[in-house]
Amino acid sequence: MKKYYKWKILRLSENEIIFLADAYENGDLLDLHDINLNAFRQNAKGEIVWQVRRDDSNHPPGWWDNIDRRAKEEGLDGARYPFTYITLKYPDGSTNISPKTGDPPKEATWTPDCTILLDGSYYQQYILDPETGIAKNVTEGFVRPW
């Protein structure tokens, strides 16, 4: 079983969390699969309940394949676009983003009335369903095909 370094943490309860990983616990960088799906839910026993699944259906068909192909043409093993922040959006529209840094904190506590946003590379934003682990891309505007 892989063990992940918990880079950013969202507490769902006293013993259950959602976290972003940027490396394995042994210090190795995440492989291509895990870096692109680097959000996890962990239960009170320390077991991984789910690894995030991206839903990019708001983008043109083949969008991710084009990004991946372009990265390979540049000599990489594929596209690496991890989630970088966990942002909470409250019912009144406010967020947990710090006015001083412009970023959400590295650790936060969720309340059921909050929407969980995962901010990804290339300014992609996703709404995360904490029960299923599905992150729905909600980025608006023009999307380049690569």
At 21-61, the pLDDT tens digits run: 999 999 999 999 999 999 999 999 999 999 999 999 998 88
Task: Using alpha carbons only, give the angle 133, 136, 139 rounded to the nearest 5 degrees.
Answer: 145
1 has pLDDT over 70: yes
145 has pLDDT over 60: no
pLDDT at 88: 98
Closest CA to 86 of 49, 34, 47, 38: 38
pLDDT at 46: 94
pLDDT at 144: 58
Residue 72 CA to residue 79 CA, distance in Å, equals 7
121 has pLDDT over 80: no
Mean pLDDT score across all residues of the chain: 93
pLDDT at 140: 84
**Maximum CA extent, the chain:** 45
Helix (H, G, I), strand (E, B) or coil at 123: helix
Summarised one tens digit per residue, pLDDT across range 54-109 is: 999 998 888 889 989 999 999 999 999 999 999 999 999 999 999 999 999 999 99
Return the domain boundaries, the chain. 4-137
8 has pLDDT over 80: yes
